[in-house]
């Protein structure tokens, strides 16, 4: 089992920035890929970005490409999501997730999830 704890959410004005953190513990040696997802009220959870735990390769959803950056610190077992130029439509609960080989952009491909952190962007 991998345990994940997100932090760093909050209220920010449009155009502002936030950095989310996701600390992993437990069987971290089993992690192949870490992903960030978000879920707005009344909407399905959607993929934002992933990073491969060892190689550091990244992939982004078109909606955040150029504005969000995913990174990791293997020594701290922590993944980050740096968000800039935030928009009101970025308002959602943000979740990090851990997956084994094969995890990519689908919710069902990840087997460990954090509790989520709220990000609210005011206009």
Contact call for residues 49 and 68 (beta carbons, < 8 A): yes
Identify the H or E element spanning 22.
Answer: strand 18-26
Alpha carbon of residue 33 to chain centroid = 11
Tens-digit pLDDT string for the chain (123 aa): 999 999 999 999 999 999 999 999 999 888 999 999 999 999 999 999 999 999 899 999 999 999 999 999 999 999 999 999 999 999 999 999 999 998 999 999 999 999 999 999 999
Residue 85: which residues within 8 A CB-CB, separation 6 or more?
15, 17, 67
Residue 88: which residues within 8 A CB-CB, separation 6 or more?
14, 121, 122, 123
Three-point CA angle 34, 67, 49, nearest 5°: 20
C-alpha span between 72 and 111 (Å, rounded): 19
């Amino acid at each position: 089992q991998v345990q994940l704890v997100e932090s760093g959410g909050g209220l920010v004005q449009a155009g502002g920035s936030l950095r989310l953190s996701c600390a992993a513990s437990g069987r971290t040696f089993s992690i192949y890929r870490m992903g960030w997802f978000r879920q707005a009220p009344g909407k399905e959870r959607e993929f934002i970005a992933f990073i491969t735990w060892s190689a550091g390769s990244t992939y982004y959803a078109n909606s955040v490409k150029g504005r969000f950056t995913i990174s990791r610190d293997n020594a701290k077992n922590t993944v980050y999501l740096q968000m800039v130029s935030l928009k009101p439509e970025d308002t959602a609960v943000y979740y990090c997730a851990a997956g084994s080989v094969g995890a990519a952009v689908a919710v069902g491909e990840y087997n460990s999830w954090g509790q989520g952190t709220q990000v609210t962007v005011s206009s």
